[in-house]
Amino acid sequence: MLNRLGDYIELNEEKNTDLKYGESDVKGISINKIFIETKANLKNVSLRPYLVVRPKHFAYVTVTSRNGEKVSMAFNDTEETYIVSSSYVSFSVKDQNQLLPEYLYIFFNRPEFDRISRFHSWGSARETFSFEDLCDLKIEVPSIEIQQKYVDVYNALVANQKAYENGLDDLKFVCDAYIENLRKKIPSVEIGDYLIEVTEKNIHKRYTVNQVMGVSKNKEIIPTKADSSGNDLSKFTVIEENDFVYNPRSADAIAIYTRSSKCIISWNNTAFRIKPSHINILLPKYLNLWFSRAEYSRWAKFNSWGSSTELLSMDEIKKYRIPIPSINIQKRVVEVFDAYEKRKKINEKLKDTINNLCPILIKGSINSIN
């Protein structure tokens, strides 16, 4: 029998008024339904109005517009207590003898929940999904025994994924430690002598709007999100495999192009490659290791300059210093990093698989009632 979700959950309005919890306890919420480290600037921000999210409590962002058609919601499945912005909504299950919070979290992880939440969102400038709207949703609640059975299946899948992810973190640590050790053993040199800017333009318009790529802050070259249909594509730069692309206006946005087919990038971005005469001295993927590190991002931000818009020039990038060991050592380091990248992709697929199983788990639990 379908019941109103509001019969099972209650609003949490506990505030951090005594400042028991500090900046290290502040969390944000992602569209992947997990708590993340906040990206907000907390300087001079009072944490007193922040909501306290205790273990087994939920929190979500009411604004659903421009959110990838998903609701940013998370479940605190740890033993720690978090605090979140007062603009969020926090709630908990009233009686865990009737509804397991973990089971409810599986319910929220389904695409069906995101779709119905977006459908019931309302507003003009910003569409929102209020707590009252959430309470009005219908849910079929099986017995606690059936809920626990499917929660155990879900937890087992997550535990396996987390074990794989921990091994992934260990591999990343080994890679980072190894290249840091290289810096101690080998003098660092400026990379400018090894680089040449890419200047080939798409003058014959051989490459079309479907082949326009951009660079993201996640250090990936991806299909551009900008509308390039009205642009003069003859002015776009042609890039090929192992070329680097960066956005001078965003220090984090730098990446290596790894596809075999050529493409084009906007004149807003800059491309460069390792000189053909130096390709046997410095491997593109080895150089990319250094660009992919948080250390480089900090360096790039520090060396960007400007008034209204800070820019990182090509001349500044050429001053970046790295140790350059023998080609054989570079190859070994790259092999470890490639293994890490492959495993990272597998880990993301595992997460997607678990999320895709949530509707099946809920459906299985409901079928067990009948």
Kindly state the percentage of the chain with pLDDT values over 90.
Answer: 62
Architecture of domain 2-141: Alpha-Beta Complex (3.90)
- H helix or E strand, kind and range, residue 3: strand 2-4
Higher pLDDT, 244 or 121: 244
Structure tokens at 365: 């639990």
Q: What is the DSSP letter of 322?
A: E
Q: Is the pLDDT of residue 368 over 90?
A: no
Q: Which two tokens stand for residue 57?
A: 């409590």
Cα four-point dihedral sign 233, 235, 241, 243: negative
Q: What is the band of 169 on the pLDDT scale with cuts at 50, 70, 90?
A: confident
Which pair of structure tokens corresponds to residue 184? Answer: 């101690």
Flag whether pLDDT at 342 surpasses 80.
yes
Q: Strands 9-12, 51-53: parallel, antiparallel or unpaired by DSSP? A: unpaired
What is the predicted pLDDT for the residue at 67?
67
In our burial notation (b when 16+ CB lie closer than 10 A, e otherwise), range 303-317 reads: bbeeeeeeebeeebb
Strand ranges in 172-312 using DSSP code E only, listed in sequence order: 188-190, 195-197, 212-215, 221-223, 237-239, 244-246, 254-256, 263-265, 270-274
Does residue 290 contact residue 337 with C-beta atoms inside 8 Å? no
What's this model's pTM, rounded to 2 decimal places? Answer: 0.73
Number of Cβ within 10 Å of residue 50's Cβ equals 25
Tokens of 177: 């430690």
Could you please state the CATH topology (level 3) that the domain comprising 187-324 is classified under.
Answer: Adenine-n6-DNA-methyltransferase TaqI; Chain A, domain 2 (3.90.220)
Average pLDDT over residues 277-304: 92
* Per-residue pLDDT, 308: 67
Identical topology for domains 2-141 and 187-324? yes
Taking the C-alpha atoms of residue 56 and residue 148, their distance in angstroms, rounded to an integer, is 15
Can you give the pLDDT at residue 125?
A: 63
Instruction: Flag whether pLDDT at 175 surpasses 90.
Output: no
Measured between alpha carbons, how far is 282 from 130 in angstroms, rounded to an integer? Answer: 55
* pLDDT reported for residue 68: 67
- Average pLDDT (62-91) is 89
Could you tell me what percent of the chain has a pLDDT over 70? 97
pLDDT confidence of residue 174: 83
Q: pLDDT tens, 353-363?
A: 998 999 999 99
Q: Give the Cα separation of 58 and 56 in Å (integer).
A: 7
Report the distance separating Cα 180 and Cα 198, nearest Å.
30
Q: Where are the domains positioned within the chain?
A: 2-141, 144-185+325-370, 187-324
Q: Residue 305's pLDDT is what? A: 85
Higher pLDDT, 147 or 369: 147
Task: Classify 34 as helix, strand or coil.
Answer: coil
pLDDT digits (tens, 9 = 90+) for 193-242: 999 999 999 998 899 988 999 998 889 999 887 777 778 899 999 999 99
- Residue 144: phi and psi, rounded to 5, are -60, -35
Q: What is the mean pLDDT of the segment spanning 113-122?
A: 86
Q: What is the pLDDT of residue 370?
A: 64
